[in-house]
Structure formats: structure tokens, C-alpha cells
Amino acid sequence: MVFNFVEFPFNNHILKSTLMAKAEKKPAKRSSSKIDDLSVNTENGAAQFLTTNQGLKINDNNNSLKAGERGPTLLEDFILREKTTHFDHERIPERIVHARGSGAHGIFKLYESLDKYTKAAFLNDTSAETPVFVRFSTVAGSRGSSDLARDVRGFAVKFYTSEGNYDLVGNNMPVFFIQDAIKFPDLVHAVKPEPHHEMPQAASAHDTFWDFNSLMPESMHMIMWAMSDRALPRSFRMMEGFGVHTFRFINSKNESCFVKFHWKPLLGVHSIAWDEAQNISGKDPDFHRRDLWEAIEAGNFPEWELGLQIIPEADEFKYSFDLLDPTKLIPEELIPVMRVGKMTLNRNPDNFFAETEQVAFHPGHIVPGIDFSNDPLLQGRLFSYTDTQLSRLGGPNFHEIPINRPLSPVHNNQRDGHMRQTINTSRTNYHPNSISEGSPMQAKAAEGGFVSHAERIDAVKVRERSKSFFDHFSQATMFFKSQSKPEQQHLIDAFTFELGKVEKVYIRERMLGLLTQVDKTLAEKVAGALGLPLPKAPEKPINHGVSADANENDTEPIKVKPVLEKSAALSMEGTVKDTVKTRKVAFLVANGVKDASLDKMKNALLDNGATVKLISLKQGAITTEGGNQITVDGSFLTDASVLYDAVYIPEGKKSISALMTEPNSIHFVNEAYKHCKAIGTGADGVAFLQETFVKEVGLENMNIEGAGVVTDGNADKFIGCIAAHRFWNREDFRKVPA
């Protein structure tokens, strides 16, 4: 008998006939929203027959066509070949940089018209809700790498405005490694896995990266950011974003000013510990992606305010740094950040590949009212992004992919090319024409036509770096000085880790030389930890990166007086710390847990917008002291302390003694302690805490503000501790094993 998989195991007659009945009645649901125009959904009862890509209904999707049931497969099997060919081509080249990313849809709303500065319609009309798509990313790793690499994060926003798409393609750090686009391929080659053995993945701790930086002193400011806790965000939702370059605004009177873009997260800017990041990379490499997805699914929509620093054109040369130099920031103390609108991410993509993978950002996607500056890094970017899409998305029609289509109509004479979607029906594909009465025609500025800012340029053609770009250290120093003590320690540890992985000692030494120029103590501490003497004089960071034939003196970095000693905005210490919204709290529970203790804390946390997960010795249900059966969310095998913001041990002597017999529960709390997280319990739990590193705090210090350990079950205190994010001062004890 021939065994037919079509009928087995999926389809019995009932299932099949129900589906067929539905297929008759319900057409596939198509959403009316722009980027879903081509979407097809076979869930939710919109049953459809399986077809080939030509629309032919398929009768058997389980067996290829063969010459006899035990015979060879026939070339004739066009269904097998179509399916296999499509599968064989399912991967496209990943992004050269920023390959690993996660995206979401949302809206942008303006608070007040900015018509004084810019004529951009979406920055003038406070009634408009501009749709956006945002993609967050790491830079160095491949598409499948961990979210928790120590790395810069991309923060790219596509605004679908009424005047065309505007892309603000920024990062979570306000400066960049290099000053000129011509160095970008070198920088990226240096940070990517080394070419001979393709290691390490998604990590900058290797020789080629530090070799490059140590020869490129202009990287020092960005290196400080990249080694700081900013490179280890708690969540995409808790990151700042920056446009990095100086851009221009143009108003309707054609007046121009300079502008720097910022994104300020309403939940504050928060980071995690390096040891924690490394652990998460194993326990849940999708940690940031999952966090974003789950927050949006739960209706906890991430929000950022758009911030602007406006610099009058007359002030172009007012500062000791050059506004065109992307390795410099403008301290917020000098020019405050004006918060002008809010972006809310409120919808997850329907399909990762179609949207998040195929979205194509480009700093050159611009609208009237916004223009470029002559920042040589930005100028180079204006070439690179379209070019990269040609190979990544396969041809010049990538703007027709639903996620990339503008909301405003597209009319031009570009035709044909790979995968052209639009069917242009007119005879004319040239301009000027008379057959179509000149249409499509040029738009005057008053009609919304884009006119580049008429900047006067009278110059000699040179391959040179402006001397105004030569100060490589003063802002690196300002950054280090602005960090809190724990943040400074994390920087020292990060340099020690990264340089400690560098094999060539002369590269370590050269980096130490550069660090002496930033901060003597920093350099001494890193040198000490590496077991190296501090170089007496730094190796001169010459010639590399400035000009080929200028004489040596000209090419040495110059020293300028820092614009400011310290800038509070550069530290995360003073960030938002008054909310536990969306924070994840692990409750360690076992049979016999006290109902009242569990419910009281759980409800208080939920009321304040946190989430609570019950973790126990095994999965399934536990029985509370009051005899109630409650289902737990995870066990010590499936869950880990590093995935939570805080841990609570509800009362109940029986539950607590059961937990004390399980080494993993002790480990769970030890890790939370080591990573400086809030830990809470009631009177019964003190015995448990005495088995853990928490005892270091000392019973007398528990419940004291600043210790982060609450032992009286006081919900307000515990919530205050979680909102404080971390108790980094615990790291000073240095008794906690790594």
C-alpha cells in the first residue's frame, strides 16, 4: 500500500473540510496600512490553499515526483524545483556593518512648530503624526551575533513625512572614531573578525582593532565612549540617540542655522555590567530584541523625545573645536538640548525579513528644510548608503520594497531594472517632454522642491585635514572626568579587558601612550592591571590619519584648553531614576510560600508598571502556604539572574528552606548581588541572604538607602531600589568572585 502523507499526519477529513469551507468564505485579510499593501496572512481563519508562486494549487507538498514509489526523482518536478530554488536564495548579503539589528514601527509628534529654524513640514505641523520605522543595531557582529557585544549601537529612524522620507541615521554615542570617510573601510576591517581565522565574533578585543586605534589618535574620544558603559545598554529603550554630525536647518526665508540631533529616552539611560553582558550573551543572545518586542506587545510603548542643539550660523567659529569635526560634541551646558517632539514605538514588524532586514536607511534621504554640513565623514556617507543597498538588496529598485516606500507619491523618469514593481503606463520617460505636457515637472522651492543651501565655497582643491580637527584629546579627557567613580572604574576595567586580549605587547604599549594623553590616572591603572610600565613619553601619534606630506610638527595632535572640565550630561549617574516601569523582577518561590507576602509585593510592583516572574526549583505549579496552586514562569535551569533587574524572595519558612537546599538559588542571588541589583525579602528571608554574598552588606546596613538590600518586605523601599537601577558601590567590596 502507498503511504500518503497528504492525509497524514495533519489532515483528517474534518480539519480539511473546515479549512475548505473557510477558504470559500473568507478572502485573505489585507491591511490598509501602506507597508502592508502586499501582506498576506494565513492565520486567524483566513485559510488559503497552498499554491506555487504562479498561483497553481498544490495537491501534494510532501512527496516529490518520482519514477515509481522507490524510483529516482524526476527533473520534471517543477514544484520541487521552484520551492528549492526559492529556498536556496533566501539569504541576502548581510549589512557590512550593523548587520545585527531589531526594528519597530511608531509615530513622531511635534510639541511646537520649529518654523523659526526649519521649513520641514513634519517639524512645522504640530497636528501631524508622522509614521516612523526605527532600527537599532550593533556594529561589528554578524547578523546572528549576540545583542550584548561591547559595541556602539545604531539608532536609525525613517520618518515617512508628507514631503518624502527623511532618515536620521545615528548612533547611541554622539561622536565617531574617524574624521574622514576615506578611513571608514580601514576602521571596519580592523574591528571585524581578523581575516586569517575570522575571530573574534562581535568583539573589539583583538589586535587589529587596537593596532588601528593606537595609530589613529583621532579615535580617542570615541574610544572613551566605546569602552564606557554606554556600550552595554540595559535595553534599546534605555539608550540615547545622536545624529553625530552637525546638520543644517533652513527656514522659509532661506536662513540657515546648524543643528545637532538627540534622542532622549523617557525611561532614562541605563547600562549593565560587563560580566552580566557576557553571561546574557550565552543565556539569551536575543536579550535586546526580545526586550523591545515584548515591551511593544505588552503595550509598554518605548518613547524618546527629539532633542535639538541649535547653533546660529554666526557662531560657526565660536568654539575651540570645529563643528564639522565628528569626533567632537557640543556640551549641553554650552548649548542646551531643546526637546521638541516625541517618538513612540507602538507596533512590532509583521515580518522580520520584509521590514527590519530590507529597510534601507540613508543619511541622504532628506526633506526641504534640512541640509548637510561639510563634515567630511557625512559627505562620504552620502555616497555609501545607496551603493551598499545595490548589492544588499539586489538592484536600483529597493525604494519600491514596501518598508522603503515613501508616503508621498513618486513620479520620475527612472524605469526598469531588477525587480521593478511599478507599471508606468505613459509613453514618456524623459524630461522635458511635450507628449505628457511636461509632466512630471520640476517643483519650485515655494512648491516644495528641494533646493540645496547656497553655501559660498571658494577654495583650493586639496587632500588635507583641517588643522581645526587636530585636537584629539581634550574632549576624551572631559568625557573621562565627567564620569562617576563607578563609571570610571568600568572604563579602566574595559581597557584592561580589551588590551589584555591584544597579543602584541607593542600595541598595548602604544595605546597606553595615548591614554596618558587623556588621563594620567586612567593610564596608570590600566598599565598596572596589564603589568606594564607606563610609557614615559607617548609615542608620537604622527602622520597616520592626517596628511601624507605635511611635515611632522604639523601633523602632531594639538592641545587645546577643554571647552569644559566636566559635563554632567555625559554621565548616566544623573539619569531618570524614579520609575520601575517595564523593569523585570524575579521572585524565587517554592512550596509553602506565604500568599500575603508574595501578593503584596507582586501587586505593588505591577501597580508601578514592573513585571514579575515566578522562578522555582522546577517548572509547573507550586502550592502556597494557604493551599493555593500557582503556576511558575520558569526554573533555575531555564532562567537566570542576569535576565532580571531585581530579585525578591517572598516569605514562607518552608519555601525558603527549600530554596536554601538548591545551590542555583543561592547562585541566582549572588549574581544579582554581584551585578549590583536590588534584592529584597521579608524577615524569613534573612537566613537565606546569610547564605549568600549579600551578607557582606551587613545586617545593620540592610534597609539603608544606598545598600540596595531590603529585608523588611517594604514595597516602597524595594521599588525605590529598583528605580535606582544599580548599586555600583558594591563593586568596591571586591570580595565577590567573578
Residues near ligand HDE (CB under 6 A): 95-98, 101, 135, 137, 154, 156, 169-171, 176, 181, 184, 244, 361, 377, 380-381, 384-385, 388
Neighbour count for residue 264 (Cβ, 10 Å) = 18
How far apart are the C-alpha atoms of 678 and 730, rounded to whole Å? Answer: 11
Q: How far is the CB of 366 from ligand HDE (least distance, A)?
A: 14
How far apart are the C-alpha atoms of 451 and 248, rounded to whole Å? Answer: 13
Q: Using DSSP bridges, classify how beta strands 634-635 and 611-616 pair: parallel, antiparallel or unpaired.
A: parallel
Burial class (CB in 10 A: 0-12, 13-18, 19+), 601: buried
Q: How far is the CB of 293 from ligand HDE (least distance, A)?
A: 16
Nearer to ligand HDE, 378 or 647 (CB): 378
Per the residue annotation, which of 124, 165, 171, 348 is the catalytic one? Answer: 171
How far apart are the C-alpha atoms of 582 and 196, rounded to whole Å? Answer: 44
Nearer to ligand HDE, 135 or 525 (CB): 135
**Three-class SS state of 347:** strand
| Residue showing cell 524565587 | 588
Burial class (CB in 10 A: 0-12, 13-18, 19+), 386: middle
Nearer to ligand HDE, 293 or 497 (CB): 293
Nearer to ligand HDE, 222 or 572 (CB): 222
For the chain, the 3-state helix, strand and coil shares in percent, each to the nearest 5, are: 35, 15, 50
Return the C-alpha cell found at 641: 539572574
Nearer to ligand HDE, 95 or 730 (CB): 95
Nearer to ligand HDE, 377 or 678 (CB): 377
Nearer to ligand HDE, 155 or 249 (CB): 155
Per the residue annotation, which of 98, 270, 365, 675 is the catalytic one? Answer: 98
How far apart are the C-alpha atoms of 214 and 207, rounded to whole Å? Answer: 10
- Look up residue 263 and give its amino acid: W
Q: How far is the CB of 181 from ligand HDE (least distance, A)?
A: 3
Q: How far is the CB of 644 from ligand HDE (least distance, A)?
A: 28
Return the C-alpha cell found at 307: 532633542
Q: How far is the CB of 85 from ligand HDE (least distance, A)?
A: 27
Give the H or E element holding residue 313: none
How far apart are the C-alpha atoms of 677 and 721, rounded to whole Å? Answer: 8
Return the C-alpha cell found at 541: 601619534
Asked if 300 is an active-site residue, the reply is no
* Residue 554 near residue 547 (C-beta atoms within 8 A): yes
Query: Which of 320, 339, 340 has its CA nearest to residue 329?
Result: 320
Peptide bond into 174 cis (omega under 30): no
Asked if 171 is an active-site residue, the reply is yes
Strand partners, 153: 138
Q: How far is the CB of 291 from ligand HDE (least distance, A)?
A: 17
Q: Which residue is nearest to ligand HDE (CB)?
A: 154
Q: How far is the CB of 245 from ligand HDE (least distance, A)?
A: 6
Q: How far is the CB of 359 from ligand HDE (least distance, A)?
A: 6
Return the C-alpha cell found at 125: 505641523
Nearer to ligand HDE, 376 or 592 (CB): 376
DSSP string, 578-607: S--TT-EEEEE--TT--HHHHHHHHHHHHH
* Active site amino acids: 98, 171
